[in-house]
Structure 1
């Protein structure tokens, strides 16, 4: 793929992610216009809005896989892996704000990948419990929900925080809570 074509594809996917997250009914023409490309460019690459949405989902999943690899969830010390994960996933969440639940309903391939990523993160949380970083008197599902919500809050409600600072705050909040000591 030529460099300009790759750049246009990336623009369309990122713009599509943002606009479709804001309004799932956004048209392909609106996405093309906002991305600064001709709508024929979008239609040449994606025959339907669903095809574009599927490509957006896959791009997000690819980025999540990269974060998992860089965080070394299975090998790095748990606290280090947690910080790396949060620092990496915050920008992914910001750049690819598409709804994971919608992705899971509409695209079986994306659904299967998202479920595997979720299981991998569950295993990491279990490892954090086993190694004493997270409490063992709370269900893993509860701990995972807290992790997901605090990360989402950092990514979408505190957009002024740079990813390293967001990771510092998320890890500090998860490990030490919010009560005064």
Structure 2
């Protein structure tokens, strides 16, 4: 907590007034990440933008969120309210992918949630393993790889 207070430019007493425990601070960080992730998905316009553009925007926005809030997902998911919010967001990504299936951009013969999980795995890979690659180029690579791996061949 001392290190966090120092990095935030406040004294420890100020930090402890706002977040009495480490768990309170972690919960606030997790909530902020989930709020940013929801905004990133909303800004991608998953229901109205052309499918590939929505995927690209979602990935670009979400890579930025993941790098801004580098939290341990296992710790975030240990809290039931955060886990439920994370599941809601994952389901919304599934809805975007389902839209791709309905439009013919994504193969319909894939196992349930396969394409969604491929997209999320590629997103996590770029966010955490290729931090030197900016969000835009990451989104270019991921969108292309995702469509190549799961899309209908011309």
Q: Same fold (TM over 0.5)?
A: yes
Q: Over aligned residues, Cα RMSD in angstroms?
A: 1.4
Among 116, 137, 147, the residue aligned to 1:165: 137
Structure 2 residue runs without a partner (length 5+): 150-154
Structure with more relative contact order (C-alpha pairs < 8 Å, separation 6 or more):
2
Matches within 5 A, 1:132-171: 132-171=104-143
Matches within 5 A, 1:1-181: 28-106=1-79, 108-177=80-149
Structure 1 residue runs without a partner (length 5+): 1-27
- Secondary structure at 2:46's aligned position in 1? coil
TM-score calculated relative to the size of structure 1: 0.77
Summarize deviations over 1:36-80 as a string: whole Å, max 9, x none. 432112101101111101100110011011111110111111111
Give the aligned length: 149
- Secondary structure at 1:111's aligned position in 2? helix
CA shift for structure 1 position 31? 2.1
Summarize deviations over 1:94-127 as a string: whole Å, max 9, x none. 1111123321222x32222212111111111111
Summarize deviations over 1:129-169 as a string: whole Å, max 9, x none. 12122221212322111111111111111111111111000
CA distance in structure 2 between the aligned counterparts of 1:146 and 1:119, rounded to whole angstroms: 14
Are the counterparts in 2 of residues 104 and 110 from structure 1 also a CA contact under 8 Å? Answer: yes
TM-score calculated relative to the size of structure 2: 0.89
Which stretches of structure 1, 4 residues or more, deviate above 6 A after TM superposition? none
CA distance in structure 2 between the aligned counterparts of 1:157 and 1:81, rounded to whole angstroms: 23
- Secondary structure at 1:140's aligned position in 2? coil
